[in-house]
Structures are given as C-alpha cells and as structure tokens.
Structure 1
Amino acid sequence: MTATILLTPAVEDRIPSSSPRLALTPADSTPALIDGAWWPRSRDLAAELPALTDVLDPLWGRITRVTVNPKFWPVIPRKVPVHGHVVHVGWFAAEQDPHKLLLLSYTVGRWDLLVIPPETEPATATRLMAMATDPSRSLTATGLIQDAECFRTAAEAVPGSDSLREAVWDSEGGHDARHSTSCAPAGAVIGHVPTPAAGV
C-alpha cells in the first residue's frame, strides 16, 4: 500500500496537512530490514504520530509503542495521545539506526520504517520511498539515505547527467549501477532481520 507521496507544492496545497506521506512494502513481501518509508513534515513526534497511526492501526493492528534514535528528534515525549489510545515512545541511541522508526503493535508485531528527513527534496523523497519498498532491498535505513545522497550529489556534479541517471534508475526498477561502486555505504548491507528485544 502506498499512501500519499507529494511531488509538487500545487499537489500539497490540495491535500490535508495531516495526511501522512507513507509507502509500505506489500504484505506478501519477503521480510527485510525496512518495511516502508515515512516522510514526516516535521521532527515533532507529538504532532506527526497521530496521522501515521491513523493509517497503520487498521493495517497492522493498534500501534502501542514507537522507538526512535534521539539524534534527529529534538523532543521525545514518553506518551503521545493518538485517536482512541496512547502510543508509548522510547528511544535507543546506539542500538537503533538514527533514520529508522520502530513500531510495535498488539497483533502483527514489529515494523521498521525509514524516516525520510522532513527537509528532503520531493524527487529524493520519492526515490527513497521506492527504494525502501523494493522487494530486493537490502540496505539499512542509513544506507538508503546515504545512497540517495550519493545519487543526488553525482547527478549535480555532472551537468545534464540527471536525466541519464534517472533513466538508468527507472530501467533497473529503482536501482542504479552505483550499488557496486564506492558510493554504496560500507557495511550497510545486512542479510537478516533482527528480532525485537524483549520489553521494547
């Protein structure tokens, strides 16, 4: 399921600001490190989580707990009231990827979302959403962010190369040839999904 991906200011003006910008992997996908991508409008968890849980609760069961890495979240509330219940919020500094949001629900278990920085350009955000939901994905959340940044930097460095790189990216289903170059983040590829720690 893919929720709203906003590409232009004109489109954004027609969509309620509370609509989450979200892309989720298909339900029948092979388990991976990332289950989708979320592009919040700000780093305010109290303001952003209610709209996210409105979409996820019917799909995954009631979201009861969320954890983040405090690196990019200036304020981490202990509890966030959402529609019909309260979500408990925790954080892990060393144990959790700073670009990932971990969600737990009563019925489905654990889900990990790439958090696309709010200030990200729409084209890069769209690319990140496609990469995060690609069935062959194997990068961590930080690996995806670094890969998208490398792609953006390379496109800016060579005038006129952006259309060529976009064509390669599209023709390879969202993958470009750089995955095998030094542009790919070292150590970002991991072969299994870690199990959630007890008590999280």
Structure 2
Amino acid sequence: MDFLTALEWRYAAKRMTGESIPEPVLSRILEATRLAPSSYGLQPYTIKVISDRSVLARIHEQAAPQPQVKECSHLLVFATMSDLDDSTVDRYMQLTAGERGLETTDLTGFSEAIKGTINSFRTPAEKKAWAARQAYIALGFTLASAAVERIDASPMEGFDPAALDRTLGLDKEHLGSVVIVALGYRDAAQDPMSQMVKVRKPHSQLIQAL
C-alpha cells in the first residue's frame, strides 16, 4: 500500500474484533518500532507486548477501562526507564562497540556527551519527560508501520500509569508506563466513527514556509 494511502486509511479504532494479528505482520511492526530513531540512539524505554487475555482483562479492570484493551490482538506498553544513569550509557557503549567492531575507549567522547545530557536534568521528572519524548518517536513509527500493514493501532494516554505499573510489575523493573497502543482490527459495526471522513487541518493552515 502507498504510504500516504495507508495514512489516510489509518484510524484510532474505538472498538476491535479480537482477531489475532498474524505473527509475521506483528514482527514487521515491532521491527519498525525497534528501528525508530531516538536521541543518541539510546532508546531509554522498553516496550511490553501483551496478548494474554487474562492480563488484558486485568489491565482493563485496574488501569485502562477502554474497550480496545480487551478487544485488541496485542497491547503495547511503552515504558521509560526510571534508573537512567551513567551505567545505562556504559551498557549502550558496550553494545555500540560490539556492533561496530570498536573498543569502548573509542567512544569516550560520545559517551561523555550522552552522560552530560542525562545528568543535566535537574529533576527525575525532567529526565522522565525527555525519555518519554523518545518513546513517542517510537510510537509514531508503530502507528505508521501498522497502517502500512493494514493493522489498526489505537494510541491511548487515558489510563492510570501507576495502576498499570503495579499490574505489570513495571516498578520492579525500574520502568514507568507513558503510553499504550492497542493493535488489532477495527469493528466497524460497533464503531460508526470508523466510517467517517478523516479531518485534519488543511495544508495551508498547518504547514507554513518561512
């Protein structure tokens, strides 16, 4: 499917059928998500992929009462790292050196630049906000790649992050949820808005050349 045609088709489904996404299709969406850019390439987040119906039911009951949570094929939980520090950067340098056939000492300048950034945040909240912005870039790649695959992807912020973190034990992993995405197939019979024309600002209002 042409990319712009896919984006025109894309819709944040309010109801889903519960049909499972084929594994090869899901894998391509997740690989596109993995390849998304982030500041320094650090990717200060983890993405939990949930398909177990009992877990989805608990999430729906305890943290996110939207019907898509129970009706989706897979729920993606984007969770940022709450223990982002120098050791995080050191691990990333080890990965980078291994992938590129370098010594970690070759990356000293790069390492210090990243550490300078994450240590410049005055509060944990500022650091979390920065990490969340990186996760949202990956979210965009998820939504776009899902559209190309003709898979509905409904991003949601309207949930209780603390409750979701408790439900999934994210706090024990030093993670905190920031956004969730339900992947599946729209139920047009239960979701009349899915048949409506997409509304966006016209090009002349949204995009301005200077």
> TM exceeds 0.5?
no
Q: Which has the larger radius of gyration?
A: 2
**Higher relative contact order, structure no. (Cα contacts within 8 Å, ≥ 6 residues apart):** 2
Q: Please identify which structure carries the higher helix content.
A: 2
Q: TM-score, normalised by structure 1?
A: 0.27
